[in-house]
């Protein structure tokens, strides 16, 4: 079988890697518009539930990725000069650059053909020359847009704005912080992902964003930082939390989170995967995990079904319920943050409790359980193929 993958994010690379592991004779080719070392973002969080599947499907990759993990067990809430420390959670995070490098190396070792700095050929040409085309080209997927009617795509932009930043402030917990500016609340979500490196996502309601004088900066592709004025202003707001540490960008600009849903995840021999199929608000940190789990489900479905249409139907049947559940949780979380001003003013204990229970299901116990039987099945499948 010949398989074309559009996009070398975590979803596309993990799919390519697992297909090659299960079906070494397939020709798997990945196109990535950016250079190999060039990507957006900083660190990404994984829940423990994601790791069981990843470990079982490819222990070598699992070992390499988990060796790079920052791990912690606390959620800290900084609000009105108080820090509430909430113990008993389980988080792990890794630099997105590192994750992609490890996935690229694994793909190369398994014989996946990788083309970096090369936008994918026209999709209709790929569909004609390949048995299957995987559109793993992210939230703004042009492939999906081209067949939007067939996929039944729905896109909904959040009212609030965010910017994905990094800092050398070594956080040791998943950290939520609210700064009450004269214009209204501005909040940050921060967590460690490597020694001396933390992700710092700032989020603000549109009215506060405008009143505070933030602007949509002109995008300058040659500038590796992004919206320098915006970043400086955010650093001033959070100077107490940053405690003298730097805040930096990686082609970072203000954006709106876009919720993506599709009525159908495939159209003929073209299939959506990861953010091109579905997105979840970053406040529940699960998009990378979901994209990789999609890859695992698609690779196993291709291995277990005789035809591509059967495999694509099985892939969607397996993934849709889990994805939609996470999208519901993410939507509730997004709405809580969009309406944060309703809770700002509560005493710190009450604010802390509201934040932690905002989705009703966001405790460690509610993260998708590691289904031991499911993991065992994956391990056997990949062991048979090895
Ligand atoms: C602020 C923020 C914080 C986040 N934090 C987390 C987190 O903590 N944990 C988590 O799990 N997730 C997080 N996410 C979500 C996560 O980044 C995405 O869900 C994940 O990257 C999806 O992976 P993907 O492979 O589907 O798409 P992407 O990672 O978006 O990869 C798509 C790739 O396709 C390439 N591409 C696009 N068009 C073409 C083309 N025509 N030809 C070739 N290549 C193309 C792009 O260059 C890109 O490299 C966060 C997202 C945001 C915005």
pLDDT of residue 362: 45
Any atom of ligand 1 within 6 Å of the Cβ of 31: yes
Q: Beta strand pairing status for 174-181 and 184-194?
A: antiparallel
pLDDT of residue 382: 75
216 contact partners, CB below 8 Å, separation of at least 6: 253, 254
Element (H, E) at 89: strand 82-95
Which of 7, 16, 48, when mutated, tests ligand 1's pocket best, judged by the most ligand atoms within 8 Å of its CB? 7
Any atom of ligand 1 within 6 Å of the Cβ of 205: no
Residue whose CA is at the smallest distance from ligand 1 atom 51: 282
- Please give the CATH topology (third level) of the domain spanning 161-249: D-Amino Acid Oxidase; Chain A, domain 2 (3.30.9)
Place of tokens 């939390």: 241
Residue whose CA is at the smallest distance from ligand 1 atom 38: 137
Any atom of ligand 1 within 6 Å of the Cβ of 291: yes
pLDDT of residue 385: 60
Measured CA distances, 106 to 61, 96, 125, 131, 164 (Å): 7, 15, 27, 23, 27
Give the residue extent of every domain in the chain: 2-158+257-385, 161-249
Give the distance (Å) from ligand 1 centre to CA of residue 275: 6
User: Which pLDDT tens digits describe the chain residue by residue (386 residues)?
Assistant: 999 999 999 999 999 999 999 999 999 999 999 999 988 889 999 866 556 787 889 999 999 999 999 999 999 999 998 999 999 888 999 999 999 999 999 999 999 999 999 999 999 999 999 999 999 999 999 999 999 999 999 999 999 999 999 999 999 999 999 999 999 999 999 999 999 999 999 999 999 999 999 999 999 988 999 999 999 999 999 999 999 999 999 999 999 999 999 999 999 999 999 999 999 999 988 999 999 999 999 999 999 999 999 999 999 999 999 999 999 999 999 999 999 989 999 999 999 999 998 876 544 344 334 346 656 766 776 776 65
Which of 6, 38, 40, 44, when mutated, tests ligand 1's pocket best, judged by the most ligand atoms within 8 Å of its CB? 44
Any atom of ligand 1 within 6 Å of the Cβ of 277: no
pLDDT of residue 367: 35
User: Residue 69 corresponds to which tokens in the numbers above?
Assistant: 């993990």
Ligand 1 atom at minimum distance from 201 CA: 1
Any atom of ligand 1 within 6 Å of the Cβ of 258: no
CA separation for the pair 386, 57 (Å, rounded): 10
Nearest residue to 209 via CA among 174, 250, 253, 243: 253
Cα angle vertex 5, ends 46, 193, to 5°?
20
Any atom of ligand 1 within 6 Å of the Cβ of 332: no
pLDDT of residue 52: 72
Superfamily (CATH) of domain 2-158+257-385: FAD/NAD(P)-binding domain (3.50.50.60)
Give ipTM to 2 decimals.
0.98
Any atom of ligand 1 within 6 Å of the Cβ of 270: no
């Amino acid at each position: 079988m010949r398989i074309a993958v559009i996009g070398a994010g975590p979803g596309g690379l993990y799919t390519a890697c697992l297909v090659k592991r299960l079906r070494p004779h397939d020709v798997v080719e990945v196109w990535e518009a950016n250079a190999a070392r060039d990507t957006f973002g900083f660190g990404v969080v994984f829940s423990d539930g994601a790791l069981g599947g990843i470990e079982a499907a490819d222990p070598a990759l699992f070992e390499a990725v988990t060796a790079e993990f920052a791990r912690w067990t606390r959620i800290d809430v900084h609000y009105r000069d108080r820090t509430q420390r909430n113990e008993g959670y389980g988080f792990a995070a890794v630099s997105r650059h590192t994750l992609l490098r490890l996935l690229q190396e694994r793909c190369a070792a398994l014989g996946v053909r990788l083309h970096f700095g090369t936008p994918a050929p026209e999709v209709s040409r790929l569909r004609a020359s390949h048995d299957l085309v995987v559109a793993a080209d992210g939230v703004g997927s042009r492939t999906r847009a081209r067949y939007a009617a067939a996929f039944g795509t729905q896109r909904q932009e959040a009212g609030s704005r965010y910017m994905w930043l990094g800092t050398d402030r070594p956080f040791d917990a998943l950290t939520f912080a609210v700064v009450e500016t004269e214009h209204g609340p501005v909040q940050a979500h921060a967590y460690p992902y490597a020694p001396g490196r933390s992700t710092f996502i700032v989020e603000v309601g549109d009215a506060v964003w405008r009143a505070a004088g933030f602007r949509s900066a002109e995008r300058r592709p040659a500038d590796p930082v992004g919206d320098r004025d915006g970043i400086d202003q955010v650093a001033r707001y959070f100077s107490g939390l940053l405690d003298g540490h730097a805040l930096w960008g990686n082609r970072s600009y203000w954006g709106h989170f876009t919720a993506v849903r599709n009525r159908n995840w495939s159209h003929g021999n073209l299939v959506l995967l990861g953010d091109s199929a579905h997105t979840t608000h970053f406040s529940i940190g699960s998009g990378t995990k979901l994209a990789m789990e999609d890859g695992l489900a698609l690779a196993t479905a291709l291995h277990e079904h005789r035809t591509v249409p059967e495999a694509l139907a099985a892939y969607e049947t397996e993934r849709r319920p889990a994805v939609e559940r996470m999208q519901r949780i993410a939507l509730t979380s997004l709405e809580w943050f969009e309406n944060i001003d309703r809770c700002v003013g509560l005493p710190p204990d009450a604010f802390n409790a509201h934040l932690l229970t905002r989705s009703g299901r966001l405790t460690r116990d509610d993260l998708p359980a590691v289904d031991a039987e499911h993991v065992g099945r994956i391990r056997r499948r990949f062991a048979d193929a090895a």
